[in-house]
Structure 1
Amino acid sequence: MKAKKFIDIGANLTDSMFKGVYNGKKYHDIDLDSVIKKSFEFGLTKIFVTGGSLDECKESVDLVKNYENLYTTVGCHPTRCLEFEQKYTDSQKYFNYLSELIKDNKDKIIAIGEYGLDYDRLNFCRKDIQIKYFEMQFELARIHQLPSFLHSRNCHSDFIEILKKNIDVIDKFGAVVHSFTGTPEEAEELLKLSPKIYIGINGCSLKTSDNLKTVAQIPPNRILIETDSPWCEIKSTHASHQYIKTHFKSKKRDKMNPCKMNTKDKNSNENSLIKGRNEPCTLVQVLEVLEAIFSSSSQPPDDLAEIIYQNTLKLFFPS
């Protein structure tokens, strides 16, 4: 049987959890290298690190330079768009720094992002500010001729209108709406907008039975997969959990001795996951759920893993 190949299009590997810090408290040493190595043992061939602010993107670029098969996005997350006006008191300067970072590291930058709109967390950034800098960042895609890694939460009407205004960028360089949790109608509208729009699926996309029904209606040739780690793991309470075949043991953090892992934990080994922290290796679970969903369709795909793998190459490595 041919080995399945995976590409995680979205992993937050600069998050403090991979430095051993949880809620501001140090629990263990940095273990990112072992996390990455474990991922490749489970079939991943590439991991795309997501950047959400200028400083985070700089850190991401420094990280991916150390690994042949790691790449990163560069952009500003909607909840952090105030940085355009506050970090240097000059939005154009912030934009220019993002652009220079891309130009100087083009071989390691896979997409612009993550950028978009998030109306669930307006306490971090007002709607008008989000819209302004969502629109501005499309210019980065135009200048550098890169795909867009897009964020959309509870904002579909505004989101789709801004995509329509910038359809030239989408049609030329493509886009993925990552961590999709919308309705079947929203997915359909996105996919009809351009043949170069893809839908990113992770554990957050597969929580409820309604989520599963929505995903089942997305054509396999328009799906990409991701973990969004250290977030969006598939939990035992999720509707998708019943379809998982590959299970990872869980190890707890030692609350009494924060800087050391609990060595008495019988499940503590290289293939265990720290409780509450998702990792790129769990991408195999996302695929297993999708295979279960599509196996019951009228025309199940012969090799879903290969279809999704080729979708990813088509969007991010078109040459």
Structure 2
Amino acid sequence: MQIKSKFRFFDIAANLTDDQFYGMYHHKKYHQPDYKDVMKRATDIGCEHLLIASGCLGDLKKARELCQLSPHYYTTAGIHPCRAAELNQNSQGYMEELRDQLELALKEKKLVAIGECGLDYDRLEWSTKEEQMIAFEPHFELAEKYKLPMYLHNRNTGDDFYNIVQKNRHRIVGGVVHSFTGPLDELQKILHLDLYVGVNGCSLKSQENIDVAKQIPLDKLLLETDSPYCEIRNTHASSKLVKTQFQAQKTEKWKEGQLIKSRNEPCKIIQVLEVMSELLKIDQDKLSEICFQNSLKCFGLV
């Protein structure tokens, strides 16, 4: 299936190192790796620019390889809060190897941000608050040393996230809070920190989400999919605003060149654009270009 568009997109959250793009679901192999098909569909839709985010050492190694497939693919270097326990098992050795991989990505001109890092209190079964706090702080040192923006994650953390970033804000050039799902007061705090805001399907799930998304200033808005997660589902309040539909097969019926049900892809960024265009009452052409340029600015690519 081929859907083309005239828009320019920069998906700032394409998790192409995820097992699902290699045919693995819940530790079971269903099909051959199809990430190259996924990349082609993204290109067809106008999404030639991808940020292949990494949240651990293994992700960064794999992301560096994927970035060689296009001059417009980039990556990040950091420890996702849900992976913070990995750092604390071997703190010194882990950080040394992460820095080595980070510097290789820098030499390759593929590293554009420090992260994914931050706090996530919704999934404390993966890493405790204490482990997350310990892992979060060193990222500011890295961002300051390499003069890179930060790629930030925040879920249900009260004022903890805001207080830490505010304390260190003078050390960093900027950044984005990606996959934003918070209430209006959280958005206002992010904007007070002069950070960008990444929006995907999870950002547009409920009517409350939609009401908050409308308040994101145009010059701070970035579009993303967070694929293979965070698609706009039929149960989402925003789904009625989606115009472009993709045919997809169940995992066990996968065929080469087909999308898979419930697995998000960068090509579906056009659906996020369609929703935000309706919410903000801005032409899709204009909005896609604004967000594309915002992404370049955020990651120092202009």
What's the TM-score bracket when you normalise by the shorter of the two chains? over 0.9
Q: Please tell me whether residue 115 in structure 1 is matched to residue 117 in structure 2.
A: yes
Whole-angstrom distance in 2 between the partners of 1:302 and 1:79: 36
User: Equivalent residues in 2 for 1:280-299 (5 A)?
Assistant: 280-295=266-281
Q: Distance in 2 between matches of 1:26 and 1:290?
A: 36
**TM-score (normalizing by structure 1):** 0.89
CA distance in 2, matches of 1:15, 1:45: 19
Asked if 1:311 is matched to 2:294, the reply is: yes
Q: How far apart are the structure 1 equivalents of 2:197 and 2:116?
A: 14
1:198 aligns with 2:196: yes
**Cα distance in 2, alignment partners of residues 301 and 33 from structure 1:** 27
Q: Which one of the candidate residues 216, 219, 225 is aligned to 1:218? A: 216
Give distance in 1, aligned partners of 2:250 and 2:200. Answer: 24
1:248-305 residue CA offsets vs partner (Å, 9 max, x unmatched): 0121233xxxxxx456xxxxx73x4201211100000001100000118xxx898211
| Contact 1:4–1:306, Cα closer than 8 Å, also in 2 | yes
Structure-2 change in CA distance of 1:55 and 1:302 (3 Å): closer
Higher mean alpha-carbon deviation, 212-221 vs 56-65, is at 56-65
Query: Does 2:84 correspond to 1:81?
Result: yes
Q: Equivalent residue of 1:30, what SS?
A: coil
AA aligned opposite 1:180 = F
| Residue aligning to 1:158 | 160
Shift >3 Å, 4+ stretches: none
- Tell me, yes or no, if the aligned pair for 1:80 and 1:124 is still in contact at 8 Å: yes
Give the alignment partner of residue 47 of structure 1, picking from 37, 47, 50: 50
Deviation at 1:169, TM superposition (A): 2.9
- Cα distance in 2 for residues equivalent to 1:66 and 1:156: 40
The match for 1:64 among 55, 62, 67 is 67
Q: Secondary structure at the match of 1:120?
A: coil
Please point out which of 122, 125, 128 is paired with 1:126.
128
Highest Rg: 1 or 2? 1
RMSD: 1.8
Once residues 12 and 229 of structure 1 are traced to their aligned partners in structure 2, the CA distance between those partners, rounded to angstroms, is 6
Contact 2:7 2:288 in 1 (8 A): yes
Superposed CA deviations along residues 198-234 of structure 1, whole A, max 9, x for unmatched, are 0000000000111000000111111101100000010
Q: 1:154-195, CA deviations, whole angstroms, 9 ceiling, x for partnerless residues?
A: 01400000001111133xx2110010000111101110122x
> Does structure 1 retain, via aligned residues, the 8 Å contact 2:7–2:45?
no
Describe the SS at the equivalent of 1:79. Answer: helix
After superposition, the C-alpha distances for 1:25-53 in whole angstroms (9 at most, x for unaligned) are 11111111111011000011200111111
- 1:248 is paired with a residue whose SS is coil
Identity of aligned residues (%): 44
2:118 aligned partner, one-letter code: G
Residues 16-73 of structure 1: per-residue CA shift (max 9 Å, x gap): 1111111111111111111101100001120011111111211111221232221111
**What amino acid does structure 2 have at the position aligned with 1:10?**
A
Aligned match of 1:182: 182
Contact kept in structure 1, 2:7 and 2:285, CA below 8 Å: no
Structure 1: 5+ residue runs without aligned partners?
255-260, 264-268
Structure 2 gaps, min length 5:
none
Instruction: Tell me, in whole angstroms, the C-alpha distance in 2 between the residues paired with 1:42 and 1:302.
Output: 13
Look up the match of 1:258: none
1:133-144 equivalent positions in 2, closer than 5 A: 133-144=135-146
